[in-house]
């Protein structure tokens, strides 16, 4: 069934009795050509592009919980391509271009809203850094504008630009950036993949791999053994755990990241805005809630909930940037498990085991990467070669020292 305005009117006149489930409740088959482990945004996008772009069939996505229960449904929904390094920027710009056509492609309203992102600058040195970043973005085909203080005030008139602890000198704007409704992205990919014959199997945890002579034959699951010609692991915060079943130790640590939402307010934020003197980012949802977050909690954990010291730090940064936020009540907060890599950049690569592939290390930036990650992973799974935008996201960079250290923090995953 295609979704459309016409269909909505027809169903409304019919008492909404004609809507079917968005995807089938598929039962596991004994064998597939491709098994994707993890039904988050990246796993579902991979399955979709395997079927749509690369013409593959006999594909299953195995999800231990439910679709949308992982980070894809827990993030702060920011979509952007304002990266600086040549290894990253073409990939994230490719992703943003896919986002721009995603709703038509999936026939699903993912509430993609290109309302722009501003990174505020508070010092001369930061202005220099943002000019460099903006130029790198433009050279890679993305959009970037340097705003002075007056231009920032035109968009955010309530900012205290001069008499604040950290005066605002201007900002780097990416107008094409914005937000998308996170769980609708998961549902949209799930529905579109299902329509192309992909089996989406929920409540099916992968508990091990079966190998023969250096080749992966399939996966052990809580619903029995399932064979596959190729297995693509895509489990974000559970990466280290799942790959340990294959005897691999990854250059990845798991950390918690929290998000917060206030009560609904009248429109105050036209786009996404970030604080330049710390790590705080905020946007306003279509329901009016301010959606915001900051740094990861900073200790290793697989728990999907955070701790109070980071709540305090995030609120301090919020108050430093918008003192008026102190009047708003926080309604909800939650945590997700981040797969923090040693250099802050992802891995999309083959492993040393034939037929076993890995996608992870997205840190807290993987939502925006969802379309390109799925596309590039589908390319790798089908052709055994990296997609041209993802050639640097390999395991061996940690051996050869070719780090992609966008933040310049060194090999400290808790600081990326």
Ligand X SMILES: Cc1cc2nc3c(=O)[nH]c(=O)nc-3n(C[C@H](O)[C@H](O)[C@H](O)COP(=O)(O)OP(=O)(O)OC[C@H]3O[C@@H](n4cnc5c(N)ncnc54)[C@H](O)[C@@H]3O)c2cc1C
Alpha helices by DSSP H, 101-181: 102-106, 124-139, 149-155
Query: Beta-carbon neighbour count of residue 164 at 10 Å?
Result: 14
The least distance separating ligand X from the CB of residue 161, rounded to whole angstroms, comes to: 25
- List binders of ligand X among 179-238 (CB under 6 A): 205-206, 234-238
Residue reference for tokens 């023969």: 212
Encoded one letter per residue, x for contact with ligand X by CB under 6 A and - for no contact, window 319-338 reads -----------------x--
The least distance separating ligand X from the CB of residue 162, rounded to whole angstroms, comes to: 29
Among residues 34, 48, 71, 392, which is the contact residue for ligand X, using CB under 6 A? 71
Q: 164: number of CA atoms within 13 Å, CB side?
A: 22
Determine, following the binding rule CB under 6 A, whether residue 95 of this chain makes contact with ligand X: no
Among residues 178, 218, 232, 366, which is the contact residue for ligand X, using CB under 6 A? 366
Determine, following the binding rule CB under 6 A, whether residue 114 of this chain makes contact with ligand X: no
Q: Give whichever of 255 and 350 is closer to ligand X, judged by the CB atom.
A: 255
| Residues near 14 by beta carbon (within 8 Å), at least 6 away in sequence | none
The least distance separating ligand X from the CB of residue 67, rounded to whole angstroms, comes to: 7
Residue reference for tokens 């089908």: 382
Q: With CA atoms as reference, report the closest residue to 234 among 30, 48, 399, 32.
A: 48
Alpha carbon 232 to its chain's center: 17
The number of residues that bind ligand X (CB under 6 A) is: 39
Determine, following the binding rule CB under 6 A, whether residue 344 of this chain makes contact with ligand X: no
Q: How far apart are CA 310 and CA 258, in angstroms?
A: 8
For residue 179 the two structure tokens come to: 């937000």
Buried/exposed 366-402: b ≥16 CB within 10 Å, e otherwise = bbbbbbbbbbbbbbbbbeeebbebbebbbbebbeeee
Q: Give whichever of 130 and 260 is closer to ligand X, judged by the CB atom.
A: 260
Among residues 121, 193, 257, 310, which is the contact residue for ligand X, using CB under 6 A? 257
Determine, following the binding rule CB under 6 A, whether residue 96 of this chain makes contact with ligand X: no
Determine, following the binding rule CB under 6 A, whether residue 76 of this chain makes contact with ligand X: yes
Q: How far apart are CA 12 and CA 386, in angstroms?
A: 47
Encoded one letter per residue, x for contact with ligand X by CB under 6 A and - for no contact, window 2-41 reads -----------------------------------xxxxx
Among residues 23, 48, 77, 133, which is the contact residue for ligand X, using CB under 6 A? 77
Q: With CA atoms as reference, report the closest residue to 145 among 116, 104, 110, 106.
A: 116
Tell me which residues touch ligand X (CB under 6 A). 37-43, 62-65, 69-72, 74-78, 205-206, 234-238, 242, 257-259, 293, 336, 362, 364-368
């Amino acid at each position: 069934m295609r979704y459309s305005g016409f269909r909505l009117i027809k169903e409304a006149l019919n008492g909404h009795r004609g809507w079917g489930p968005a995807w089938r409740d598929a039962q596991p088959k004994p064998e597939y050509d491709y098994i994707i482990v993890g039904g988050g945004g990246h796993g579902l996008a991979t399955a979709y592009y395997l079927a749509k772009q690369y013409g593959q069939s006999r594909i299953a996505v195995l999800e231990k919980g439910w679709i949308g229960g992982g980070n894809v449904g827990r993030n702060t929904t920011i979509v952007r391509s304002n990266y600086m390094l040549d290894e990253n920027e073409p990939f994230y710009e490719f992703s943003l271009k896919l986002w721009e056509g995603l709703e038509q492609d999936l026939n699903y309203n993912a509430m993609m809203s290109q309302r722009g992102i501003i990174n505020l600058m508070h010092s001369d040195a930061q202005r220099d850094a943002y000019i460099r970043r903006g130029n790198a973005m433009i050279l890679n085909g993305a959009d970037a504008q340097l705003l002075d203080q007056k231009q920032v005030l035109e968009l955010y008139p309530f900012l205290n630009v001069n008499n604040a602890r950290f005066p605002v000198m201007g900002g780097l704007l990416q107008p094409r950036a914005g937000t998308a409704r996170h769980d609708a992205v998961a549902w949209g990919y799930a529905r579109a993949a299902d329509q192309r014959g992909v089996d989406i199997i929920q409540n099916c945890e992968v508990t091990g791999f079966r190998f023969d002579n250096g080749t992966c034959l399939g996966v052990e699951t809580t619903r029995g053994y399932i064979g596959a010609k190729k297995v693509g692991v895509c489990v974000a915060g559970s990466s280290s755990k799942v790959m340990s079943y294959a005897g691999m130790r990854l250059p990845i640590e798991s950390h918690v990241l929290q998000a917060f939402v206030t009560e609904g307010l009248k429109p105050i934020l036209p786009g996404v805005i970030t604080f330049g003197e710390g790590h705080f980012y905020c946007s306003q949802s279509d329901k009016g809630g301010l959606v915001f977050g900051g740094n990861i909690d900073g200790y290793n954990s697989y728990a999907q909930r955070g701790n109070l010291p980071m709540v305090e730090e995030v609120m301090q940064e919020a108050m430093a940037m918008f003192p008026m936020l102190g009047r708003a009540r926080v309604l909800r907060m939650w945590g997700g498990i981040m797969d923090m890599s040693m250099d802050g950049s992802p891995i999309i690569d083959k492993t040393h085991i034939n037929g076993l592939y890995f996608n992870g290390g997205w840190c807290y930036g993987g939502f925006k990467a969802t379309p390109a990650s799925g596309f590039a992973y589908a390319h790798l799974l089908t052709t055994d070669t990296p997609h041209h935008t993802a050639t640097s996201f390999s395991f061996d960079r940690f051996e050869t020292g070719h780090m992609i250290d966008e933040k310049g923090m060194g090999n400290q995953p808790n600081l990326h």
